[in-house]
Copies of this chain bind each other. A is one copy, B any other.
Amino acid sequence: MSNRVQRVHVSLTHSGAAAGAVPFYKTSAALLSHFCSDPALLHRIGLPQPCKLKQLPAAMPSDLETAMQLLITVFHRYAAKDDHNNTLSRRELRLLMENELSNFLKSQKDPHTIDKIMKDLDANGDGQVDFEEFVSLVVGLSVACEQCYQTHLKKTARQ
């Protein structure tokens, strides 16, 4: 991750929050309105009934909102399997990767891939991975995938 990307991320989340200006949290409300208006999604993330947050006008989520919802949904689907509902244990990370990244795991020759990723993510050694750490894994995969896609586009353009 380049320095400028780090800078942007920090300014969007931590610095803003620290300064008391958290405009991006308003997005959360908009996204949560989609959670609230979709009983199937609520069930999947473990909320048995419609939540009582103030609802924003319901609308079909955009593709980008859907992607963000999916990141949160997938994380909490597995994080909720033990008492630490906001973090993934080693077992939960293993389950998540086996179910959600099976193509990736099949392509790995190293049988200790998951253990190595867990060790890499869990820098403080508490055996737990939080959402921000989980997203860093997804970013790494997505950036690698997009670079591969760019290479493919260039090859296609030359043909």
Contacts and interface: CB of A to CB of B under 8 A. Distances in A.
Contact of A27 (B4, B67, B141): B141
B75 A70 contact: no
A114 interface: no
A23 B103 CA distance: 12
A contacts with B: majority SS: helix
Nearest to A45: B149
B75 A140 contact: no
A96 to B, nearest CB: 8
A135 interface: yes
Contact of A26 (B71, B108, B136): B108
B1 A6 contact: yes
